[in-house]
Amino acid sequence: MSWWILLNVQTAVFFAALAVFVYLRRPPLPLWPSLFYALVCMMLWSVGELGTVYAPTVAWKQAALVVLYSGSIFLSPACWITAFRFAEAHDKPFRWARPALIRASLWIAIVLWLAAG
């Protein structure tokens, strides 16, 4: 067992702990759902990476790849929306940001996720 497995486990545990912390102590409303979902996507990516590297069988590796790609595909829209919500929480919203533009990356990610499956 290499020390890389410890880093993978530590990363997944930290993202899970941060997601639980954000869930229990909710930030202001503009940040609440998007920050939580971004942390969940980061945790999924870490767990998927851990599973793909250390999977005992091919079936486990395929399941871990689904988790990894789900986390990585939805991470960028979650961070995109969190950035807009963060600016909104600090009373500096982007003037060019419209709700359709903000959610466009989420719809693209959903289409990519469905197309990959």
- The 10s digit of each residue's pLDDT in 14-63 is 999 999 999 999 988 888 899 999 999 999 999 999 999 888 999 999 99
Mean per-residue pLDDT over the chain, rounded = 89
pLDDT confidence of residue 35: 92
Query: CA nearest 78: which of 48, 113, 51, 115?
Result: 113
pLDDT confidence of residue 94: 79
pLDDT confidence of residue 30: 84
- Asked if 77 contacts 105 with a C-beta cutoff of 8 angstroms, the reply is yes
* Residue 17, domain extent: 4-116
Biggest CA-to-CA distance, the chain: 51
Burial classification of residue 18, based on how many CB atoms lie within 10 Å of its CB (0-12 exposed, 13-18 middle, 19 or more buried): middle
pTM, two decimal places: 0.84
Q: How many domains does the chain divide into?
A: 1
